[in-house]
Amino acid sequence: MIMTITKKIPLEERIILALDVERPDLARELVVRTESHIRFYKVGLQLFLAAGFDIVDWLAKRGHKVMLDLKFFDIPETVKLAVRQLNDRGVTLATVHGNDPIIRAAVEAKGGVKLLAVTVLTSFGEEDLRAMGMTGSVADLVYLRARRALELGCDGIVSSGLEVGRLRQGLGEKLLIVTPGIRPGANILEERDDQKRIVTARRAVADGADYVVVGRPISKAAEPLAVIAALQAEIRKALET
């Protein structure tokens, strides 16, 4: 473990459940099944294209926090105008994925929304960087992008759990760290689907993650609440250590 988390985040908000489903009725059903244990949900491209702000408004009216994961990437003026649309819409976290001018534009327009810069997607591995002609490591690229995002005014970053310890140690406690690619401890060596850089919730939080994003391990489970309870137990142990 690198250091103890000092932010006062309720346990039921530590897990951000990814509503990665194709229809809004399926999303609502999943929320109703899990909201006794979880109070934070992620709306990504698939669901947002199917439901728009209606699903965001519905979540907010039920008292839940929303991470809008659209990874804004376009010319700076377009990104600024898009991010401005999030003001007063019940969005807590939003993601941006771009260079300095794009991030500056997003920061300028974010208002009360906390902005997260995506560092390197968890579906990327070292071989993908080599294929792009890059010679450094994924860990180095994540750190450089995270440090720059913080300098430009982002509230935090999205990073796999493999890089969290170095980020927390080097960039301090101010930075919000949200970690996808989470698998329950018992399943960490099972089929990884499209995620390459995965860790357990316990490791991510022990190393310094503030939030962990979990999708399929919960949404595809026969008993989602049991999986949530197991993940929360992992997180509680990490926080108590």
Which residue numbers are catalytic?
A: 71
The type of residue at 79 is V
| Summary count for the chain: helices (H), strands (E) | 12, 8
DSSP label at residue 171:
H
User: Strand pairing of 176-179 and 15-18?
Assistant: unpaired
* Cβ proximity of 168 and 144 under 8 Å: no
List for the chain the helix, strand, coil content (%; round to 5): 45, 15, 35
Strand partners, 211: 178
Dig out the tokens for 18 from the structure: 């990814």
Q: Which positions ≥6 away from 49 have C-beta within 8 Å?
A: none
Distance between CA atoms of residues 72 and 66, nearest Å: 16
Distance between CA atoms of residues 201 and 31, nearest Å: 21
Distance between CA atoms of residues 152 and 168, nearest Å: 18
User: Strand pairing of 176-179 and 211-214?
Assistant: parallel
Helix (H, G, I), strand (E, B) or coil at 71: strand
Distance between CA atoms of residues 68 and 50, nearest Å: 14
